[in-house]
């Protein structure tokens, strides 16, 4: 019997990330919440048997096993709370909340009610992220002391149709909330707990914040430099990790997002297309290509299905979601005055 899932929101996150991954992992997309007529037509085109509803109350009344909140950041907390109060486990697209306090309120409600909630830090299942964990475990880099991780693009003009690029931080807009959660959450996954050392958060194009650099110090001594920017005419490598015996460099973004955007999905929770990013070990002028690990976001929802069905751990700890939210709050305070 397939687990029944309801998706709140059917824009970029709902249609091109969550829906195809849920389908690939064997969930039944039973209901979709959207008030947008075009997106409603997309929902029925993609899932002819789904029920399209216009309110969160209607969504949680559909006898669901899971609710995925993939709507604008502005309503994450409200929609997550409605599902939790209905006794339905919830996955919230990142960021779980717009602030530490909002994130904490969702986690505390989940704990009080005994209904699970988790957040979608899918970049932990990028090819680069999985390859890095393998390389760290091998010890080939020696003592690691520094990591640079980037989501850098060159989009000099603001997209007027994107709420992420135009909404205020208070309403959930900006790249600090959009891309830095991925950079912070993967850094935590690789190197453990950390604290924010310094940050800059700026708006170069005059709309929502679109250029941020965060510096983290991990408890194990590694320093992470995290750059999220829409205004980089010469983007740096996706990842560079420096150790006493060499460096790991991964230049390109994991291909899964591009595949999802053109309608591909991992049927049976397995990709039929290649999902590996090229990875290289540098030792000065000596460069060695190594075999990367294929990326697979479906592993997130496979773990969610297992957690719901047999009580195994959820794929992302709420402690990590809270730490990410805390760092973002701190970065906004220090960074906007830098």
Q: What is the pLDDT of residues 254-270, one digit of tens each?
A: 999 999 999 999 999 99
Verify that 140 and 71 share a domain, yes or no: no
Count of the separate structural domains present in the chain: 2
3-state class (DSSP) for residue 109: helix
Q: Label residue 200 exposed, middle or buried (CB < 10 Å: 0-12, 13-18, 19+).
A: middle
Share of the chain above pLDDT 70, in %: 99
Residue 266 lies in a domain: yes
The two tokens of residue 177 are: 């909330």
pLDDT at residue 146 tops 70: yes
- Token readout for 294 is 């294929």
d(CA 301, CA 294): 16
* Residue 308 belongs to a domain: yes
User: How far does Cα 253 stand from its chain's mean position?
Assistant: 14
- The mean per-residue pLDDT over the stretch 32-46 comes to 97
Q: Is 115 contained in some domain? A: yes
Note the pLDDT tens digit of each residue in 182-226: 999 999 999 999 999 999 999 999 888 999 999 999 999 999 999
Do both 117 and 26 map to the same domain? yes
In a domain, 42, yes or no: yes
Looking up residue 110, the CATH number of its domain turns out to be 3.40.50.720
Structure-token match 């037509």, residue found: 41
Instruction: Tell me the backbone φ, ψ of residue 170, rounded to 5 degrees.
Output: -60, -35
The phi, psi pair for 145, rounded to 5°, reads -125, -20
Q: What is the mean pLDDT of the chain?
A: 95
Mean pLDDT of the 327-332 span: 96
- Give yes or no: residues 284 and 196 share one domain: yes
- Tell me which residue range forms the domain holding 29: 4-122+302-312
Asked whether residue 68 is assigned to any structural domain, the reply reads yes
Walk across the sheet containing 28-33 and list its strands.
51-53, 28-33, 4-8, 66-69, 90-93, 117-120
| Rounded mean pLDDT, 313-332 | 97
58 pLDDT higher than 60 = yes
Q: What's the pLDDT at 338?
A: 47
Residue 165 is predicted with a pLDDT of 74
Q: Is residue 319 part of a domain?
A: no
CB 117 within 8 A of CB 276: no
pTM summary value? 0.96
pLDDT of the residue at 59: 98
| Predicted pLDDT of residue 273 | 96
Residues 85 and 144 in one domain: no
Of the candidates 228, 216, 218, 158, the one whose C-alpha atom is nearest the C-alpha of residue 191 is 218
Same domain? 173 vs 263? yes
User: Please, what is the end-to-end C-alpha distance for the chain in angstroms?
Assistant: 54
How far is the C-alpha of 65 from the C-alpha of 140, rounded, in Å?
A: 43
Q: Which pLDDT score is estimated for 335?
A: 81
* CATH label of the domain that carries residue 212: 3.30.360.10
What is the length of the chain? Answer: 338
Q: How confident is the model at residue 337 (pLDDT cuts 50, 70, 90)?
A: low
Same domain, yes or no: 276 and 162: yes
pLDDT at 163: 66
Q: What count of other Cβ atoms lies within 10 Å of the Cβ of residue 28? A: 17
Q: How many CB atoms lie within 10 A of CB 215?
A: 15
In this structure, the answer to whether residues 52 and 65 fall within a common structural domain is yes
Is residue 108 domain-shared with residue 144, that is, in the same domain? no
Q: What per-residue confidence (pLDDT) applies to 167?
A: 74
Domain-located, residue 318: no
């Amino acid at each position: 019997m397939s687990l029944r899932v309801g998706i709140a929101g059917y824009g970029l996150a709902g249609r091109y990330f969550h829906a195809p991954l849920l389908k690939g992992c064997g969930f039944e997309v039973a209901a979709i919440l959207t008030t947008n007529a075009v997106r409603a037509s997309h929902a029925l085109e993609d899932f002819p048997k789904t029920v399209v509803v216009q309110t969160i109350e209607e969504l949680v009344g559909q006898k669901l096993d899971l609710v995925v909140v993939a709507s604008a950041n502005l309503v994450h907390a409200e929609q997550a709370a409605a599902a939790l109060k209905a006794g339905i486990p919830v996955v919230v697209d990142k960021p779980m909340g717009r602030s530490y306090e909002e994130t904490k309120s969702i986690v505390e409600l989940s704990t009080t009610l005994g209904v699970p909630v988790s957040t979608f830090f899918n970049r932990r299942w990028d090819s680069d992220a999985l390859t890095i964990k393998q390389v760290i475990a091998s010890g080939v880099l020696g003592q690691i002391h520094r990591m640079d991780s980037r989501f850098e693009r060159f989009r000099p003009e603001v997209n007027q149709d994107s709420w992420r690029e135009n909404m205020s931080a208070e309403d959930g807009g900006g790249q600090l909330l959009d891309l830095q959660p991925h950079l912070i959450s993967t850094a935590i996954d690789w190197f453990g707990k950390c604290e924010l050392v310094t940050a800059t958060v700026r708006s170069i194009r005059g709309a929502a914040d679109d250029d941020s650099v965060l510096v983290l110090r991990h408890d194990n001594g590694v320093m992470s430099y995290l750059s999220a920017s829409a205004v980089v005419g010469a983007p740096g490598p996706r990842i560079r990790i420096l150790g006493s015996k060499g460096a790991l460099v991964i230049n390109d973004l994991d291909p899964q997002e591009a595949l999802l955007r053109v309608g591909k999905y991992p049927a049976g929770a397995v990709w039929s297309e290649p999902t590996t990013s090229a990875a290289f070990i540098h030792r000065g002028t000596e460069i060695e290509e190594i075999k990367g690990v294929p990326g697979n976001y479906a592993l997130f929802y496979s773990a969610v299905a297992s957690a719901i069905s047999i009580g195994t751990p959820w794929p992302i700890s709420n402690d990590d979601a809270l730490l990410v939210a805390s760092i973002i709050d701190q970065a906004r305070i220090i960074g906007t005055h830098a």
